[in-house]
Structure 1
Amino acid sequence: MTDDSPREGLRDGPTSRRRLLQAGVGAAGACALGLPFGLPLGPPAARAAERVVRISMQRSSVLFTVLKVRGLLAERLAPLGFAPSWHLFTSVIEPMNAGAVDIHADVADAVPIFTQSANAPLTFYARERGSPAAEAIIVPADSAIRTVADLKGRTVGVSRGSGSHFVLAAALKRAGLGFADIRPAYLQAPEGAAAFEKGSIDAWSIWDPFLAFAEAKRPVRMLADGSGLTSYHRYYFVNDAFVAEHPQIVVAVYEALIEAGRWVKAEPEAAAALLAPLWGDVPPAVVAAANARRTYVVEPVAREQLGEQQDIADVFLEAKLIPRRIDATAVKIFQPSSVRG
């Protein structure tokens, strides 16, 4: 899974690289939305007695971004003796598998299949209600490619392990094709954006905000979105050990995410103005278009609702993207309502 920023240029200084390597994350890039890795926000004296909860983000982690910039999570955690430490990753699967942070970036529905396959010590604690239109397979508007079936023999950009990877696999299967019938170009999202703009790939399977950015840059034709293929839920994870030791912190984060989601939908212009500079000075209208396709409704995870996760896992197994069959419903789930007081 890749960074969801529509612009490149994340700072990744030597301090962040050392910490990531020490955490077993390898070369995954990280920063704290333009700040050095792990730099706390606020006066040091006010934070001296607080414990830090490490939170990872992608640029598509809209609700976490809102909580960070508006200081809402810091306000909720301060009475509990904690302060958030924010870390922006260009690849989230590695830090999720390595336990490099405590609470992880919200991820598309495909990502848990890979982390579960790797036996990562992760617990579901929330999900964002489905937004299938926020993922799509697109081509330039003047392309001769008119349908998914026309992708046979074509070069298609996709981020390996992303929700859009599943959308592409499922769309190909529905059209009677497989990955062997196309030339997949496994590109991180910023690389895919550049390749699509230059015309070095024929099609691109991508998610918002990159989808909205591509639509704003040039006329495109949408071959398929997630409708009928995936609900595109986004899931929120916490390390097993952290939720066992600090369930009240996870509850506070969950409640703050609900608040942020309601604010984004109630104040779309303010939300777009907040996010636009953080996404690389993207026009607010592009941000608003991306936000309009997301529900931002945060809710608990119910095991009986994970059937679609199994569908994703089965498609990925068939495509040999995971080494063995997994039961996608056999995961750890934390219910925020189980903690009182």
Structure 2
Amino acid sequence: MTSHLDRSRRQLLAGGLAAATAVTLPALVRAQGRPVLKAGDQKGGLRALLEAAGGLEGLSYDIQWSEFPAAAPLAEALNAGAVDSGPIGDAPLIFALAAGTRVKAIGANRSDAYGTAVLVRPDSPLKNAAELKGKSIATNRGSIGHYVTLKAITATGLKPEDVSLRFLAPADAKLALTQGSVDAWATWEPYTALAEVSRHARVLVSGRGLLPGLSYLAATDAAIAAKRPVLQDFLQRVVKAQRWSYRNVDAFSATLARIIGIPPEAAKLQFERRQQQWIPIDAQVIADQQGTADFYRQVGLIKQPLDVKGTFDAGFGATA
């Protein structure tokens, strides 16, 4: 398992850093002497939220954005120090930590996990998770799509080896599904909503009832040590922008659609049903995260037990 993990990490590092280099967009022109926050992001993530809410006004630091198609390459960029911080789901954070990434969760949010789902083509004969036995499923290794796949099949009594996992980036996985080279695609928002609205796929199994719906703003240990006030301010702006977004659903959905290049109806669908809320890093969050780590150990995705308590920094006050 270690050799597979190392090989996967090397591949993701190459892809992730290439992606970061290709799409790094300075949000502001750096002024002399101003701190710079190297902010990683995922499609439909923090940048769209902050821009829509006016949350980037009056900054005392500059932001250099790097967008990634999924959490795994973002985690590799964190590990390499290419970014200081970024949004990441509970499962990929476990995978990153087990691989030795020196990073901590500084803010937590919980959302409805419906949009983290196993999708099939509209004409697929598959009706439930049990029928995935012997089928091929595309997803990102260590992603929340990977996690929901394993949760869905083990809940029916199947084992990980009862399905054939193909580890592909979201765009390649979508293509593989639509062309029929895989039977299913396990993904997350906004990809799920986009597939539904475009009628390229339907939800076979959702994450509702299977996943705790946790995601985090993670930051490297080095950034926490050197840029703590900047990270604190950035997190508070994200929390404030999230509150604004649910008071201005139509306006935010339209801006989100424009920024990430998806139809407005898909942007609104994934946003409204997610119902994301920033919450304190409390005992329940830590317990839920420990459950995710224990499950990954159980199914063999991480080799050693992982005590998650030390992977949180609760001193940032995300809900203040």
Q: Does 1:30 align with 2:19?
A: yes
Partner of 1:65: 48
Q: Among all aligned residue pairs of Structure 1 and Structure 2, give the percentage whose two residues are the same amino acid.
A: 28
CA distance in 2, matches of 1:221, 1:247: 43
Q: Does 1:204 align with 2:162?
A: no
Shift of 1:42: 4.1
Map 1:147-186; keep pairs closer than 5 Å: 147-186=128-167
Instruction: Give the aligned length.
Output: 305
Map 1:145-294; keep pairs closer than 5 Å: 145-218=126-199, 220-280=201-261, 282-294=262-274
CA distance in 1, matches of 2:222, 2:266: 39
Q: What code does the residue aligned with 2:42 have? A: Q
Change (3 A) 1:141 1:89: closer
Partner of 2:6: none
Change (3 A) 1:327 1:262: same
Q: What code does the residue aligned with 2:291 have? A: D
Partner of 2:316: 336
Partner of 1:4: none
Q: What code does the residue aligned with 1:322 have? A: I
Q: CA RMSD in A?
A: 2.4
- Could you give the per-residue CA deviations for residues 28-78 of structure 1, whole angstroms, max 9, x where no partner exists? 23358xxx654434456xx233221111111131x3322246652352x32
CA distance in 1, matches of 2:29, 2:305: 49
Partner of 1:103: 85
Shift of 1:295: 2.1
Q: What code does the residue aligned with 1:274 have? A: T
TM-score under structure 2 length normalisation: 0.87
CA distance in 1, matches of 2:74, 2:184: 24
CA distance in 1, matches of 2:27, 2:111: 32
Q: What code does the residue aligned with 1:291 have? A: F
3-state secondary structure, aligned to 1:55: strand
- Could you give the per-residue CA deviations for residues 174-203 of structure 1, whole angstroms, max 9, x where no partner exists? 111122111112111111111122222111
TM-score under structure 1 length normalisation: 0.82
Contact 1:108–1:234 (8 Å) recurs in 2: yes
Change (3 A) 1:97 1:151: same
3-state secondary structure, aligned to 1:161: coil
Shift of 1:244: 2.4
Q: What code does the residue aligned with 2:102 have? A: P
Shift of 1:99: 2.3
Partner of 2:35: 51
Partner of 1:89: 68
